[in-house]
Chain A
Amino acid sequence: MESVDSLLNKKYEVYEKMIEQVKKEWFSNIKGDILAGIVVALALIPEAIAFSIIAGVDPMTGLYASFCMAVVISFLGGRPAMISAATGAMALVVVSLVKDHGVEYLLAATILTGVFQIIFGVCKIARLMKFIPRAVMIGFVNALAILIFKAQVPHFVGISNMTYVFVAITLVIVYVLPRFTKAVPAPLIAIILLTAISIFAKVELRTVGDLGTITKSLPVFHLPQVPFTMDTLRIILPYSIALSIVGLLETLLTASIVDDMTDTDSNKNQEARGQGIANVISAFFGGMAGCAMIGQSVINVKSGGRGRLSTFVAGVFLIFLIIALGDLVVQIPMSVLVGIMIMVSIGTFDWSSFSYMKKAPRTDVFVMLSTVVIVVATHDLSKGVIAGVILSALFFVSKISTIKVKKTEQSDRTLYEIEGQLFFASVEGFLESFDFSLKDSNVILNFENANVWDGSGVGAIDKTVIKFMDNNNHVSVNGLNHPSQKLVDRLGVYNNPNAKVSAH
C-alpha cells in the first residue's frame, strides 16, 4: 500500500509539472511575445476585414472571429505561437452560404464545424494528415492563392483610375518598405499613409465603410437566429464538413511550419480540439469560422513570438484597436485592402511549384493541377482536396499494381525475375507476362524482389506453375520472402501432384 504521504507527493509533483509547463509556454519569452503579438494584431486587422468582405459579411464578423479565435486558441491550442483567426480559406468556403441564407446560418455552420473538429481531435484524426499527399497540399495553397486574388478583382477592376493608382502604391509600399525597416509591418504603413491621403485630398474611393459597419464594442453572446430544424441542418451540414476539413488542413500545415521554424514539437490533436472549441465560442460571439494562418504565424515567429502569450496579445490588441480606432477603420480605402490582399495571395502561392512541375513525377503534377482546377472551378477547397486525395490513391494503386517480369533465356533454362507487389490488382499483368508456349524446358520463377500479399497472388503463382507444368516443363519457385512463402505454403496447390488449373 502506498502511504497517503507518497500519494500527496505524487499529486504535488503533477501540479508542479503543470505549473512548470504553464510558465514555459506562457511566460518564458514575455517581451518577445508581447512585441510580436502587437505586430501580428496590426497585420491581422486588414486581413480580417478583407476576409469578411470576401465572405460577404460585416467586417465585425471577421474581427470578432479573429479576437475570439486568437484568445481561445492561446489557451487551448496545441501549438504555442501559432496564430489563428478569420482566414481566407474559410471565408471562401462560405461565400454561397452567406449569399443564399445570410450570416446567421454562417454562425450556425461555424458551431457545427467546431463540433466536428472537436470530434476529429478526440478521435486523434491528426495523424491522418500523413495520408494527404504533398501534391494535394501544394495544390491546396496554390488554389487558395488564386481564389484570394480572384476575390479582389471586382474591387479594383473597372472602378476608377484612382483605384488602380492606390492599389499600385500599396503594392510598392508593402514590397519596398520591408527592405529598409522591419519594425513596423509595411501593410500598416500603407494603410495609415494612404487612408490619410484619401481623407485629406478628398479622393473619391470606395471605403470599408461602404461595404459594412464597424461596431466599437466587445462581442456579446448570442445564439444564431436560425430555426432548429432538419432543414437548417441540411443547409449547413455540407458547409460545416467542408469548413472542418479545410480548417484542420491549413491548421496542421501551419503547425508543421511553426514546428520547423521554432524547432519544437506540438500536439496536433490538442490543436484540432482547440480549433473546434475556438470556432464554437467564436460563433456564439458573432464570429465567422476561422483556422490557423500560415502568413500571420510566420510573421509572429519572425517577430520573436514563441509562446502562447503572443497569440493572446494579438487577439486582445486587435479588439482594443478596433474599439479605439473604429471610426478611422471605416475610412480605409478598399483599394488599399485590395493591394494588401494581392500581397497575401502572392505570399500564399507556392512559387516553387514551377520547378516542382518539372521535377516531380507526372502523376503528382497531374494531382496538383487537378486539385487547383477543381477548387478554382467549384470555389470549394475541400472538394479539390478530396478529389486530389482520391486521384493520388488511384495513381498509387495503379503504380504498385504494375508488376515487372524480366525474362532471360539461358542455355538449358528460362529465368523469370519478378519485381513488385503481387496482389489482386496486379495478378492480370503478372499472368500476361509469361510465355506459356514453352515446352520441355526448365523454368525458374525468381521472387526475390517481389511480395505476395493475398490469395489472388498465390492463385496466380499456382496458375503459372501448373500451366508451365502442363507443357512438360520443370518449374521451380525461388526467393520468396518469409511472409510470402508462408502464404504460398498455406494457400498454394502447385506442389500437389494432382493440381489442376481449374482448382482456381
Chain B
Amino acid sequence: MYQNILVGIDGSENSIRALVEAIKIASCSQICSIELVTVVDFSKSKDEILHSHGKEELKFLRKQKLLPAEKMLQEKNLSYTIQELHGEPGPAIVEYVNQNNFDLVVIGSRGLNALQEMVLGSVSHKIAKRVKCPVLIVK
C-alpha cells in the first residue's frame, strides 16, 4: 500500500475533498503517513505582506487555514506532517514531489471554466503532467 501520501491543501473546499479521499486511502494501512503541503503563492506575497501586521501575524493566519485539515487527520488518528512551500502553486509542488519520495499525490481540482483555464492554466493538470508518481485528482 501507499506509505507517503502528499495532499495539496490551500484551505479551499476542493482541497478538503481531496483530503477526505486521502484519508480513506491512508486508513487502509498502518504505516501510511500524510504530508499536508501548502504553497504560499508568489503573486500573493505582496498583497499579504501589505495587508498584515507583520511576519508573526501572517504566519499565524497561514497556519490557521490548515486547522480544519489538521483536525480531520487528528480525529482519524493518522500521523501527518505539514510543509509550507513558497512559489507558484503548480511548479512548486512538482519540484517538491520529484525531490522527495512520495507514492501518491492527492489534489483537488479547482473547477475553473474553460476560459479561466485557458488564461490561468489548471494547476492540477500541470501537476498531473509533470509529477513522477501516481496522482489522484479529486473533483
Query: Is the CB–CB distance between A350 and B47 below 8 Å?
Result: yes
Q: Give the Cβ gap from B63 to chain A, nearest Cβ, in Å.
A: 14
Partner of B52, one of A134, A141, A259, A298: A134
Complex interface bits, A260-281 against B, C-beta within 8 A gives 1, otherwise 0:
1111000000000000000000
A356 on interface, CB distance cutoff 8 Å: yes
Q: Is B84 at the interface (CB under 8 A from chain A)?
A: yes
**Interface membership of chain A positions 451-472, coded 1 if the CB is closer than 8 angstroms to chain B and 0 otherwise:** 0000000000000000000000
Looking across the interface, which residue of chain B has its beta carbon closest to that of A351?
B47
Residue of A nearest to B57 (CB): A134
A130 at the interface (CB under 8 A from B): yes
- Chain A interface helix/strand/loop/mixed: helix
A 231-270 to B, binary, CB cutoff 8 A, 1 in contact else 0:
0000000000000000000000100110111110000000
Q: Chain A nearest CB: distance from B113 CB in Å?
A: 16
Interface assignment of B71: CB less than 8 Å from any CB of chain A = no
Contacts of A137 in B (CB 8 A): 50
Q: In the complex, which residues of chain A have a beta carbon less than 8 angstroms from the beta carbon of B55?
A: 256, 259-260
Verify B86–A260 contact, CB threshold 8 A. Answer: yes
Asked if B42 and A356 make an inter-chain contact with CB atoms under 8 angstroms apart, the answer reads no
Q: Is the CB of B49 within 8 A of A301?
A: no
Is B46 a contact partner of A294 (Cβ separation < 8 A)?
Answer: yes
Q: Are A138's CB and B84's CB within 8 A?
A: no
- Please count how many residues in chain B sit with their CB below 8 Å of the partner chain's CB atoms: 18
Interface residues of B in 44-97 (CB under 8 A from A): 45-55, 58, 84, 86, 88
- Residue A257 contacts which of B46, B54, B88 (CB distance < 8 angstroms)? B46
Q: Given contacts A134-B52, A138-B50, A356-B51, are A257 and B45 in contact (CB under 8 A)?
A: yes
- Distance from A134 Cβ to chain B, minimum over Cβ atoms (Å): 6
Chain A residues 328-356 with CB under 8 Å of chain B are 350, 352, 356
- B42 contact from A138, A253, A301, A350, Cβ within 8 A: A301
**Does B32 lie at the interface of the complex (its beta carbon under 8 Å from any beta carbon of A)?**
no
A134→B51 contact, CB < 8 A = yes
Contacts of A130 in B (CB 8 A): 54
Give Cα A141–Cα B119 distance, bound, in whole angstroms. Answer: 27
CA of A261 to CA of B49, assembled, Å: 10
Are A260 and B54 interface neighbours, CB within 8 A? no
What chain B residues lie within 8 Å of A301 (beta carbons)? 42
A54 to B51, CA, bound (A): 29
Known: A179-B119, A260-B58, A302-B42. A253 touches B86 (CB 8 A): no
Residue B40 interfacial (CB < 8 Å):
yes
Contact at B48–A260, with CB atoms within 8 Å?
A: yes
Query: In the complex where A298-B42, A302-B42 touch, is A263 in contact with B47 (Cβ < 8 A)?
Result: no
The 11 listed contacts between A and B (C-beta, < 8 Å) are: A141-B50, A179-B119, A253-B49, A253-B50, A260-B48, A298-B42, A298-B45, A302-B42, A350-B47, A352-B47, A356-B51
Identify the B interface with A (CB < 8 A): 40, 42, 45-55, 58, 84, 86, 88, 119
